[in-house]
Amino acid sequence: MVVDAKISLDRPTTVTLDARVAKPVSLTPPAADAAAVLSVANLDVNIPVHSHTFQVLRFGTFDGVHLGQSDPAEREPLLTTSFLSQWIKGPIGEQPTSPYVYNLAESVADRVPAGFVKRYTDRDLGRLDATYAGQGPTPGFISTQPTIAERGVGLPAALLPVTLPGKRTEYYTPNFSWRRSLYEGDLYEAAVTWQESSPIRFTAGRATSERINSAVFGPGFGIGFIARGQGQLGIYPSLYSPAGAWSGMSSTATGRIVVERAGTVIHDQPGIAANVTGLPAEEAPFRIKVDLDRGAPSRLSTHISAEWTFRSGAPTGTAATLLPLSAVRFAPPLSDTNTAPAGKSWVVPVSVQQQPGSTAKPVKTLTVDVSYDDGRTWRNAPVLRAGVVVLQHPAAAGFVSLRATSTDTAGNTVKQTIIRAYQIV
């Protein structure tokens, strides 16, 4: 591919593209037994109104891909050239999952380079020792998408299989933010959950660890949102968000959403999301209640209820406003199968997440209750100053259910219940 980065078409123009200026592209990991799954070269023109992407995508290596610019000295500030190459243990297809994956990405601003060749060492990459927990479905698929938000760059990525539970070593180049998506279950039938991480950067030469798909699965914010527009209310909650900087939804859940405005029910319909229309512009108190259920193959978070109260009026402009809502998040230490031992005192970290981009305020009050009989009876679990609750697991095997209520300093509230938050064995 040869590119003329800047052409004026205000008069008859002749463009000459010389293929000899194009040079090879390759990104090569340090592992000798690695095989390339996907290689992508992107040319992004980030025009303020509408971006354009020109792409070369290869299933395998960059072999045969050459890139160049007709005038190597020319610069175009709207242009970004970027590359992605993903590698797993080869030969491809001889094992269901790979013990490692290399996610290699590079970018060049303002121009198209004359090829791009880089061979990496382990010191060039950030290493993630990833533990993928399980809660029912055993297959999973993960996508790791590199992005440069300030330049409007987002590269496609392969969906690679992972075993739930399972472990894998993952390597990342440090010059991109990486947004990861995990699909739990058989992707080709129907994924049970879809989870997405917050963007993360990795540091070259540094090893970190992370538990992924770890309970408690409950309300959170990220891929879902609840927002107010002109005359309407969009309710797309992420009620199956795992522990950590992830959010999630479940495709197998069923449920009901009820919305009240000033004490009057204005929406009461089955569903896991809703768009409520016909709202008056005047500010009023609102109550949103979402009840969701799911069954096999999932064994955790079989029932989730979330209820929010807040005040809202129509936004002043045409853009929607994210509502001032919060969610209580739990992150207990659990095994790879999301279990904890029976008959033990168990310290469970608890935190409150505000909907990003909203006017939700800091926490004023937070209470937590625990049940060991699927919500038939409850007992209070005091929240300690360290941001934890201490639970006393019964001697018999079963499940821990959690209920929480929180109010922020502006008076907005959240009440939520998670039945079978995690298992005790």
Q: Same structural domain for residues 175 and 33?
A: yes
Q: What is the per-residue pLDDT across 46-102, written as a single tens digit (0 to 9) for each?
A: 887 777 889 999 999 999 999 999 989 999 999 999 999 999 999 887 667 899 999
The last residue of a domain, from among 212, 231, 263: 212
Q: Same structural domain for residues 173 and 296?
A: no
Q: Same structural domain for residues 205 and 274?
A: no
pLDDT of residue 365: 97
CATH number (domain holding residue 196): 2.60.40.1120
As a whole number, mean pLDDT of residues 164-191 equals 90
pLDDT of residue 351: 97
Q: Same structural domain for residues 179 and 243?
A: no
pLDDT of residue 185: 87
Domain count, the chain: 2
Q: How far apart are CA 280 and CA 233, in angstroms?
A: 11
Q: Same structural domain for residues 191 and 139?
A: yes
Q: Same structural domain for residues 169 and 64?
A: yes
The last residue of a domain, from among 166, 196, 212: 212
Q: Same structural domain for residues 200 and 51?
A: yes
Question: Over 70: is that where the pLDDT of 188 sits?
Answer: no
Q: Same structural domain for residues 143 and 11?
A: yes
Using alpha carbons, select from 270, 267, 271 the residue that is nearest to residue 287. 267
Across the chain, mean pLDDT equals: 94
Range of the domain at 11: 2-212
Q: What is the per-residue pLDDT across 345-363, written as a single tens digit (0 to 9) for each?
A: 999 999 999 999 999 999 9
What is the SS3 assignment for 122?
helix
Specify the pTM: 0.92
Cis peptide before 165 (omega within 30 of 0): yes
The last residue of a domain, from among 212, 234, 267: 212
Q: Same structural domain for residues 150 and 273?
A: no
Place of tokens 């003329």: 4
* pLDDT band with cut points at 50, 70 and 90 for residue 191: confident
pLDDT of residue 11: 86
pLDDT of residue 46: 84
pLDDT of residue 51: 75
CA-to-CA separations, 115 to 156, 157, 168, in angstroms, rounded? 20, 21, 32
pLDDT of residue 189: 66
Q: How far apart are CA 39 and CA 37, in angstroms?
A: 7
* pLDDT band with cut points at 50, 70 and 90 for residue 129: very high
CA-to-CA separations, 205 to 119, 125, 208, in angstroms, rounded? 15, 6, 10
What is the SS3 assignment for 391?
strand
Q: Same structural domain for residues 204 and 233?
A: no
Kindly state the percentage of the chain with pLDDT values over 70.
99
Kindly state the percentage of the chain with pLDDT values over 90.
84
Q: Same structural domain for residues 259 and 307?
A: yes
Q: Same structural domain for residues 281 and 420?
A: yes
pLDDT of residue 243: 97
CA-to-CA separations, 253 to 115, 153, 209, 240, 275, in angstroms, rounded? 48, 33, 30, 10, 18
